[in-house]
């Protein structure tokens, strides 16, 4: 019977197997790229300072423990590639495992913000290079030869003059006794044989076999299952009738905790059935909101005279007063659920002596802090094992479902696995916030952009703008401000938070402004960048030359301005997180309707680590960005989501994807991350191409609800 294997016990076992080999600790995430330090191989687990382990077993197996959660960004492969590159390891002998939460050993065990690779890049290289250095010293000493006559090659140290060689496994024990110098040489990037190459996902074998590696697959003998009924937003429990549910086969408990009612039982189907028999009535507990009311709310927030101003350059009002031409436009997006295909779930076992938590989370550390606070149990008594995540998209940065499992286990005094259904995911909260933007641009008589205003109004969006975004820096008079509405509808980070829609609005508006100025959209961006280069205004957070390069490269690759007859093109470019992505979308008209054919994308994420993974991230982000711009819609009636499952919440499917032609700028810069950056520009490229093809501006998402697409959407249903 298959069991879940990636457990703490398994992790410890793997660690202890490496005793006697070479073990290096290194900080994956700390701000300073400290040198790795030799660990006490006999007692590695309690080593107090050093944060992760690269170990070499006697048989030559290289164990790499990946501390941060894997949700499909393929970090387990990329991290290992960087270490193995500098180590000159035999890639076939590298084994990568997920490490559990351990704040003594790791920093920032978190998946989010496209930040892992940029943070870890130098650290991982030094870790690999240090081990290589020690192995080389060990061999040279053993042979009594000059170290300069030895080289590291694919898991061996070779003495060039004599042809003698020893494997890393044979050298590991001696290498572990050598003192590590302050600095070791890193490889020249022209000698990279792993970094930048397409390397297959290290977990493919598990995935194609259906091995139980996900949180939902985790099983513990004696555990019970639980589903939870949560209240509509802005409501609280008035009364509960759980008698019928409690009487159903397999149900062991029906109980209230907070404003939730849990059904606990012996199998998933039995509790799902019982949940249908549960009767809970709710009453108002604050604002009970409907999407229909949000239209008026947005209009009112747009009029507010108390905005929060995030950036102010020059004299905006004067610029608009003296403008030759003013362009104004509004854009709006709905709430969106994340919908990772693996629903939320978590295992918790609250025992008198401590708490065990196992499951899919992007933020194990914050989840543990919250459980500690909730139960009043010190963090030192709480363990968190991180399973593979069946997608995250930001949803698993929230730990509400972890708290549910912990609280329930504490109440029923049993190990429990809380499972959300798809309906729970779509109706249960923490959404991409709904936002409306109003842009205004002032042009002078020569068509120069002399004034720029942006107001973002959002529902639980926080700062719904990114005030230093381009064209800030290139416009003499600029004001960016927001107005916030606080709502009971819960929101959170959604892949490329805020910018997943803001980028669409900005890039569509710049297209509108270019048209109004009588300029080509690509030339218009380049002209603005040139202004930022020659006469910068205020703070500039983007790199003008990297921006410029992706624009020029995508224009060339997509044949911008010279596209074949029948193809209409739209352009978009974005600086997101720390990377630059420019896109051109090709649209053709088919039976009087625009059809998205292809998206050309040029990304500058610095050094690509894994070409296969990088292409995957860019294509996936474009499919994600396009799919949600086209179809993603969540609406509310009296605090309750009006969509529940995939029959009335539409996700993009294979027949709807555009072709993607992705390439990367090879500039030798350190890597800057790629989990999110290709998503934000997509909606704008698509909408601008559709405008070119049809003369119609798409200003609201989802596009399928706009008049242009209404008939297409109904055909597809």
Complete DSSP assignment for 226-275:
EEEE-PPTTEEEEEEE-HHHHTSTTEEEEEEETTEEEEEESSHHHHHHHH
| Residue partners of 201: CB distance under 8 A and separation at least 6 | 74, 76, 77, 207, 612, 613
Contact between 173 and another protein per CB under 8 A: no
The least distance separating another protein from the CB of residue 204, rounded to whole angstroms, comes to 5
Nearer to another protein, 112 or 234 (CB): 112
In whole angstroms, what is the distance from residue 260 CA to residue 307 CA? 36
| Contact characters 483-502, another protein, x per CB under 8 A | --------------------
Note whether 601 and 613 are within 8 A (CB). Answer: no
Task: Please identify which residue in 211, 287, 597, 643 interacts with another protein, judged by CB under 8 A.
Answer: 211
Report the DSSP beta bridge partners of residue 599: 585, 660
Note whether 498 and 464 are within 8 A (CB). Answer: yes
Which segment (143-151, 390-398, 470-478, 538-546) binds another protein by CB under 8 A? 390-398
The least distance separating another protein from the CB of residue 338, rounded to whole angstroms, comes to 9
Q: Which of residues 413-442 bind another protein (CB under 8 A)?
A: 421-422
In whole angstroms, what is the distance from residue 479 CA to residue 696 CA? 28
Tell me phi and psi for residue 80, to 5 degrees. Answer: -65, -35
Task: Please identify which residue in 100, 196, 242, 340 interacts with another protein, judged by CB under 8 A.
Answer: 340
| Contact characters 189-208, another protein, x per CB under 8 A | ---------x-xx-xxxxxx
Residue given tokens 């110098």 in the structure block: 181
Helices 499-516 and 611-631: crossing angle in degrees, nearest 10, is 70
The least distance separating another protein from the CB of residue 36, rounded to whole angstroms, comes to 30
Strand order in the sheet with 435-443: 308-313, 477-485, 449-459, 435-443, 325-333
Nearer to another protein, 227 or 502 (CB): 227
Return the structure tokens found at 72.
């499909």
Q: Which of residues 241-260 bind another protein (CB under 8 A)?
A: 249
The least distance separating another protein from the CB of residue 209, rounded to whole angstroms, comes to 5
| Contact characters 652-691, another protein, x per CB under 8 A | xxxx-x-xx-------------------------------
Return the structure tokens found at 281.
């009535």
Contact between 339 and another protein per CB under 8 A: yes
The number of beta carbons lying within 10 Å of the beta carbon of residue 105 is: 24
| Contact characters 369-388, another protein, x per CB under 8 A | -------------------x
Contact between 624 and another protein per CB under 8 A: yes
**Residue 134 — left, alpha, or beta (φ > 0 → left; ψ -120 to 50 → alpha)?**
alpha
Task: Please identify which residue in 49, 177, 236, 269 interacts with another protein, judged by CB under 8 A.
Answer: 269
The least distance separating another protein from the CB of residue 447, rounded to whole angstroms, comes to 38
Q: Which of 376, 379, 387 has the alpha carbon at shortest distance from 410? A: 376
Task: Please identify which residue in 212, 451, 606, 632 interacts with another protein, judged by CB under 8 A.
Answer: 212
The least distance separating another protein from the CB of residue 661, rounded to whole angstroms, comes to 11
**Residue 492 — left, alpha, or beta (φ > 0 → left; ψ -120 to 50 → alpha)?**
beta
Task: Please identify which residue in 268, 304, 448, 543 interacts with another protein, judged by CB under 8 A.
Answer: 268
Note whether 66 and 99 are within 8 A (CB). Answer: yes
Note whether 231 and 259 are within 8 A (CB). Answer: yes
Q: Which of 458, 509, 471, 510 has the alpha carbon at shortest distance from 308? A: 458
Contact between 586 and another protein per CB under 8 A: no
The least distance separating another protein from the CB of residue 208, rounded to whole angstroms, comes to 4
Task: Please identify which residue in 22, 622, 634, 641 interacts with another protein, judged by CB under 8 A.
Answer: 622
Q: Which of residues 596-615 bind another protein (CB under 8 A)?
A: 612
Which segment (92-100, 129-137, 341-349, 467-475) binds another protein by CB under 8 A? 341-349
The number of beta carbons lying within 10 Å of the beta carbon of residue 121 is: 22
Task: Please identify which residue in 57, 64, 71, 596 interacts with another protein, judged by CB under 8 A.
Answer: 71
Nearer to another protein, 419 or 498 (CB): 419
Applying CB under 8 A, the residues found at the interface with another protein are: 1-3, 71-74, 198, 200-201, 203-214, 216-217, 219, 225, 249, 267-270, 272-273, 339-343, 388-393, 421-422, 612, 616, 619-624, 627, 645-647, 651-655, 657, 659-660
């Amino acid at each position: 019977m298959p069991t879940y294997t990636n457990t703490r016990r398994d992790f410890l076992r793997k660690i202890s197997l490496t005793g006697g080999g070479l073990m290096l600790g290194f900080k994956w995430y700390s701000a300073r790229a400290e040198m790795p330090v030799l660990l006490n191989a006999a007692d590695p687990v309690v080593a107090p300072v050093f944060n992760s382990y690269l170990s070499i077993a006697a048989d030559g197996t290289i164990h790499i423990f990946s501390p941060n959660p894997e949700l499909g960004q393929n970090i387990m492969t990329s991290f290992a590639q960087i270490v193995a590159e500098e180590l000159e390891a035999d890639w076939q002998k590298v084994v990568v495992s997920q490490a559990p939460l351990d704040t003594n050993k790791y920093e920032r065990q978190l998946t989010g913000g496209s930040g892992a690779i940029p943070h870890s890049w130098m650290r991982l290289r030094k870790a690999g290079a240090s081990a290589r250095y020690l192995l080389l010293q060990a061999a040279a000493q053993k042979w009594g030869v000059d170290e300069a006559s030895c080289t590291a090659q694919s898991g061996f140290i070779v003495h060039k003059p004599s042809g003698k060689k020893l494997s890393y496994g044979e050298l590991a024990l001696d290498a572990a006794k050598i003192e590590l110098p302050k600095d070791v040489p890193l490889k020249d990037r022209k000698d990279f044989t792993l970094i930048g190459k397409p390397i297959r996902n290290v977990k493919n074998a598990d995935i194609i076999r259906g091995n139980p590696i996900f949180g939902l697959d985790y099983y513990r003998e004696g555990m019970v299952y639980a589903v939870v009924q949560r209240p509509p937003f802005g409501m609280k429990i008035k009364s509960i009738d759980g008698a019928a549910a409690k009487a159903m086969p397999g149900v062991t408990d029906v109980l209230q905790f907070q404003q939730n009612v849990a059904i606990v039982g012996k199998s998933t189907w039995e509790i799902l059935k019982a949940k249908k028999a549960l009767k809970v009535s709710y009453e108002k507990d604050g604002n009970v909101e409907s999407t229909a009311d949000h239209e008026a709310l947005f209009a009112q927030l747009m009029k507010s005279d108390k905005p929060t101003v995030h950036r102010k350059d020059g004299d905006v009002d004067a610029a608009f007063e003296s403008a030759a031409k003013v362009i104004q436009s509004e854009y709006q997006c709905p709430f969106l659920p994340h919908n990772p295909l693996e629903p939320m779930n978590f295992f918790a076992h609250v025992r008198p002596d401590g708490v065990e938590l196992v499951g899919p989370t992007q933020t194990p550390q914050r989840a543990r802090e919250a459980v500690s606070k909730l139960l009043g149990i010190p963090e030192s008594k709480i363990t968190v094992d991180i399973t593979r995540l069946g997608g995250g998209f930001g949803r698993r940065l929230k730990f509400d479902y972890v708290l549910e499992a912990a609280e329930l286990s504490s109440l029923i005094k049993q190990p429990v696995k809380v499972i959300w259904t798809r309906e729970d995911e779509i109706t249960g909260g923490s959404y991409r916030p709904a936002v409306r933007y109003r842009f205004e641009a002032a042009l002078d008589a020569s068509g120069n952009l002399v004034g720029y205003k942006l107001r973002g109004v959002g529902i639980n969006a926080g700062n719904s703008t990114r005030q230093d975004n381009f064209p800030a820096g290139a416009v003499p008079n600029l004001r960016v401000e927001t107005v916030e509405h606080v709502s009971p509808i819960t929101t959170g980070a959604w892949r490329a938070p805020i910018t997943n829609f803001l980028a669409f609005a900005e890039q569509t508006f710049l297209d509108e402004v270019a048209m109004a100025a009588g300029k080509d959209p690509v030339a218009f961006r380049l002209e603005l960048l040139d202004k930022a280069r020659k006469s910068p205004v205020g703070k500039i957070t983007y790199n003008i030359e990297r921006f410029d390069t992706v624009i020029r490269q995508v224009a060339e690759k997509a044949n911008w301005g010279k596209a074949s007859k029948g193809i209409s093109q739209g352009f978009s470019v974005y600086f997101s997180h720390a990377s630059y992505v420019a896109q051109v979308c090709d649209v053709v008209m088919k039976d009087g309707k625009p059809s998205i054919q292809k998206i050309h994308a040029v990304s500058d994420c610095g050094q690509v680590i894994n070409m296969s993974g990088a292409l995957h991230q860019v294509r996936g982000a474009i499919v994600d960005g396009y799919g949600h711009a086209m179809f993603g819609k969540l609406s509310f009636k009296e605090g309750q989501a009006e969509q529940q499952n995939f029959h009335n919440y539409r996700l993009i499917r294979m027949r709807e994807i555009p072709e993607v032609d992705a390439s990367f700028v090879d500039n030798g810069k350190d890597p800057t991350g790629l989990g999110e950056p290709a998503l934000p520009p997509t909606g704008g490229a698509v909408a601008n191409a559709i405008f070119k093809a049809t003369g119609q501006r798409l200003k609201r998402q989802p596009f399928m609800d706009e008049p242009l697409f209404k008939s297409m959407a109904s055909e597809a249903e």
